[in-house]
């Protein structure tokens, strides 16, 4: 019998495999965003990262974002992007003509961002020097993108870094997709309620919450509305430009007002309110 220890290795493929073995362990956990970014930084330095879906026809959706050993401004960046910059975002033009399962690697420096406003508001204001993205074009024309950013205080990406990201990209992309699939973040018995909730217009969600908790402050309301849309804490944090810990605080306060403890109870309350109105 032969026995040996698995070596970490030093080639880009070896480092990528080692990082991926650690990344997979974070899937489904609450620390996915911070944990995965930490594992990426084992071999590929990134000051921050984000995962979002964008389309020129509708508002982009941020699934997760975080920063590594620095103040996190990724939520503010996405808020500025969603306010209109996404409409003029030409950084994904290279995906045109790609096939449904193709993952393309994009490397762009701040100076290469064509839209001056996009460059100024996102890259220059937040001191981002460049972006590495693994992106895929979906059948509906939207683009899912996993993005790593280096900041002005970090050196530029080298050729070996680009090779490492290429080796890392497919497994990282698959891990992110799996995390997104799990992100609705509900207990299993809440899954059925979510599909029914999705059939309600957003105004009906707000009306129900106002009826159930008339004194609910705006921030608690916005967090609750996003929970009803199936968003995770990370996604809500990115969407509102606040920290994930702050999201949990608002969630807990809202749930205390409503006398509940879990997401599925929130869905049930809103559906019960709808049913009560239908019976009148």
- In this predicted model, what pLDDT tens digit does every residue of 56-80 receive, in sequence order? 778 888 888 889 999 888 888 988 8
Task: Look at residue 9 in the predicted model and tell me its pLDDT.
Answer: 59
Return the DSSP state at 94: G
Task: Look at residue 159 in the predicted model and tell me its pLDDT.
Answer: 93
Query: Whose CA is closest to 151, among 94, 77, 95?
Result: 77
Report, as ranges of residue numbers, the positions in the chain whose pLDDT lies below 70: 2-10, 183-202, 274-280
Task: Look at residue 186 in the predicted model and tell me its pLDDT.
Answer: 34
Task: Look at residue 101 in the predicted model and tell me its pLDDT.
Answer: 77
- CB burial of 12-46 (b: ≥16 within 10 Å; e: otherwise) equals beebbbbbbeebeebbeeeebbbbbbbbbbebbbb
Query: Distance of CA 198 to CAs 70, 78, 208, 235, Å?
Result: 37, 24, 14, 17
Given the structure tokens 């993952």, which residue do they identify?
103
Helix (H) or strand (E) holding 64: strand 58-67
The C-alpha torsion from 179 through 182 and 185 to 190, rounded to 10°, is 180
The 10 Å Cβ neighbour count of residue 157 is 21
Query: Whose CA is closest to 51, among 29, 28, 70, 77?
Result: 77
Q: Against a cut of 0.85, is the pTM above it? A: no
Task: Look at residue 202 in the predicted model and tell me its pLDDT.
Answer: 62
Task: Look at residue 166 in the predicted model and tell me its pLDDT.
Answer: 93
Task: Look at residue 222 in the predicted model and tell me its pLDDT.
Answer: 92
User: Strand, helix or coil at 261?
Assistant: coil
Cα separation, 35 vs 63, whole angstroms: 15
Domains and CATH numbers, the chain: 12-182 (3.30.450.80), 188-279 (1.10.10.10)
Burial environment of residue 177 by CB neighbours within 10 A (0 to 12, 13 to 18, 19 or more): middle
Task: Look at residue 266 in the predicted model and tell me its pLDDT.
Answer: 87
Span 128-148, pLDDT tens digits: 999 999 999 998 889 999 999
């Amino acid at each position: 019998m032969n026995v040996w220890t698995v070596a970490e290795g030093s080639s880009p493929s070896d480092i990528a495999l080692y990082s991926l073995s650690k990344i997979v362990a974070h899937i489904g956990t609450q620390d996915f965003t911070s944990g995965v970014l930490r594992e990426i930084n084992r071999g590929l330095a990134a000051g921050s990262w984000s995962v979002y879906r964008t389309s020129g026809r509708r508002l982009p959706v941020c699934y997760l974002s975080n920063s590594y050993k620095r103040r996190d401004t990724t939520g503010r960046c996405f808020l500025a992007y969603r306010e209109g910059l996404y409409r003029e975002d030409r950084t994904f033009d290279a995906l045109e003509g790609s096939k449904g399962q193709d993952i393309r690697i994009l490397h762009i420096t701040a100076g290469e961002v064509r839209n001056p406003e996009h460059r100024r508001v996102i890259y220059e204001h937040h001191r981002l020097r460049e972006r590495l993205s693994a992106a895929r074009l979906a059948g509906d024309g939207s683009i899912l993108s996993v993005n790593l950013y280096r900041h002005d205080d970090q050196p530029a990406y080298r050729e070996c870094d680009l090779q490492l990201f290429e080796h890392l990209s497919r497994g990282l992309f698959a891990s992110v997709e799996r995390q997104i699939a799990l992100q609705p973040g509900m207990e299993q018995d809440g899954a059925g309620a979510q599909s029914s909730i999705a059939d309600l217009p957003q105004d009906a969600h707000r009306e129900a919450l106002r009826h159930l908790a008339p004194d609910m402050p705006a921030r608690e309301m916005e967090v609750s509305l996003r929970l009803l849309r199936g968003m995770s804490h990370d996604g809500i944090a990115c969407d509102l430009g606040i920290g994930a810990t702050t999201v949990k605080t608002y969630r807990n306060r809202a749930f205390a007002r409503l006398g509940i403890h879990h997401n599925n109870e929130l869905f049930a309350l809103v559906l019960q309110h709808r049913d009560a109105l239908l019976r009148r």
